[in-house]
Structure 1
Amino acid sequence: MEPYDESSLDEGLVPAHVDPFVEALQERILGAPLDLDRRAVAREVGVSFRTAERFWHALGFPPVTDGAHAFSRTDLKALEIIAELVRSGRLDESTALGLTRAFARTTDRLSVWQTSLLAEALSPWQQGDVELSRAHLAEGHDSTRAEPDESTARAAVSALAELADELEPLLVYAWRRHLTSAVARMVSDADPVAMGPGGLRRCVGFADLVAFTSLVRRLSERELARVVQQFEAVCSDVITAHGGRVIKTVGDEVLFVAKVPADGARIALDLVAAIHADDMLPPVRLGLAYGPVVSRLGDVFGTTVNKAARLTAVAPRGRILVDDVLAQELVDAPGLVTVKQRSRTLRGVGVVTPSLLSPGLGDSLLA
Structure 2
Amino acid sequence: MARRDVSRGAEVSLLSARKFWHALGFPIVEDDDAMFTEADLMALKSVARLVREQELDEETALAMTRAFARTTDRLAVWQTQLMAEALAEPHTEAALDEADARAAPDLAAARASALKLADMVDELEPLLIYAWRRHLTAAISRMLADADPDASSEGVQRVVGFADLVNFTSLVRRMTERQLAVLVQRFEALATDIVTAHGGRVIKTVGDEILFVHIEPLPAAAIALDLIDTMKEDEVLPDVRVGMAYGPVLSRLGDVFGTTVNRASRLTSVAPAGEVLVDDALATALATMSGFETTALRRRTLRGIGPVTPSALRRAAGGRTRTTREPSDSGEPGEPEPSSTREATS
* Fold match (TM-score > 0.5): yes
One-letter amino acid of the counterpart of residue 151, structure 1: A
1:214 CA drift (Å): 0.8
Contact 2:203 2:213 in 1 (8 A): yes
Contact 1:289 1:305 in 2 (8 A): yes
Give the whole-Å Cα distance in 1 for the aligned partners of 2:162 and 2:148: 27
Aligned to 1:8: none
- After superposition, give the CA deviation of every residue in 1:43-70 in whole Å (9 maximum; x if it has no partner): 2222222111100000001111343332
Aligned to 2:76: 111
- After superposition, give the CA deviation of every residue in 1:229-262 in whole Å (9 maximum; x if it has no partner): 1111011100011111101111111110110111
Give the whole-Å Cα distance in 2 for the aligned partners of 1:203 and 1:168: 34
1:164 CA drift (Å): 0.3
Contact 2:100 2:176 in 1 (8 A): no
User: How do 1:47-86 residues align onto structure 2 when only pairs under 5 Å count?
Assistant: 47-86=12-51
Contact 1:125 1:143 in 2 (8 A): no
Give the whole-Å Cα distance in 1 for the aligned partners of 2:149 and 2:194: 30
Give the whole-Å Cα distance in 2 for the aligned partners of 1:359 and 1:197: 34
1:160 CA drift (Å): 0.4
1:244 and 2:244 equivalent? Answer: no
Which of 140, 146, 151 lines up with 2:108 in the alignment?
A: 151
DSSP 3-state at the match of 1:335: strand
Give the whole-Å Cα distance in 2 for the aligned partners of 1:291 and 1:320: 17
1:314 and 2:292 equivalent? Answer: no
One-letter amino acid of the counterpart of residue 25, structure 2: G
Over 3 Å counting, the alpha-carbon distance change for 1:342 and 1:222 in structure 2 is same
Give the whole-Å Cα distance in 1 for the aligned partners of 2:34 and 2:174: 47
DSSP 3-state at the match of 2:304: coil
- After superposition, give the CA deviation of every residue in 1:136-194 in whole Å (9 maximum; x if it has no partner): x9xxx94222321111111111110100001000000000000110111100100246x
One-letter amino acid of the counterpart of residue 184, structure 1: S
One-letter amino acid of the counterpart of residue 240, structure 2: V
Contact 1:247 1:255 in 2 (8 A): yes
Over 3 Å counting, the alpha-carbon distance change for 1:274 and 1:192 in structure 2 is farther
Give the whole-Å Cα distance in 2 for the aligned partners of 1:168 and 1:300: 29
Aligned to 2:136: 179
Percent of pairs with identical residues: 59
Aligned to 1:169: 126
Contact 2:154 2:249 in 1 (8 A): no
DSSP 3-state at the match of 2:55: coil
- After superposition, give the CA deviation of every residue in 1:115-145 in whole Å (9 maximum; x if it has no partner): 011111001035x7xxxx9xxx9xxx94222
TM-score by length of 1: 0.83
Which of 86, 101, 117 lines up with 1:121 in the alignment?
A: 86
Aligned to 2:327: none
One-letter amino acid of the counterpart of residue 180, structure 2: L
Over 3 Å counting, the alpha-carbon distance change for 1:247 and 1:302 in structure 2 is same
Which of 246, 249, 258 lines up with 1:293 in the alignment?
A: 249
One-letter amino acid of the counterpart of residue 78, structure 2: W
Give the whole-Å Cα distance in 1 for the aligned partners of 2:53 and 2:249: 35
Aligned to 1:32: none
Aligned to 1:23: none
- After superposition, give the CA deviation of every residue in 1:276-302 in whole Å (9 maximum; x if it has no partner): 111111110010000111112211111
Contact 2:172 2:180 in 1 (8 A): yes
Of 349-358 and 64-73, deviating more is 64-73
One-letter amino acid of the counterpart of residue 90, structure 1: E
One-letter amino acid of the counterpart of residue 139, structure 2: A
One-letter amino acid of the counterpart of residue 68, structure 1: D
Aligned to 1:10: none
Aligned to 2:183: 227
1:90 and 2:55 equivalent? Answer: yes
Give the whole-Å Cα distance in 2 for the aligned partners of 1:62 and 1:54: 12
TM-score by length of 2: 0.87
Give the whole-Å Cα distance in 2 for the aligned partners of 1:101 and 1:63: 15
One-letter amino acid of the counterpart of residue 122, structure 2: D
1:315 CA drift (Å): 0.3
DSSP 3-state at the match of 2:314: strand
Which of 8, 21, 44 lines up with 1:43 in the alignment?
A: 8
One-letter amino acid of the counterpart of residue 152, structure 1: A
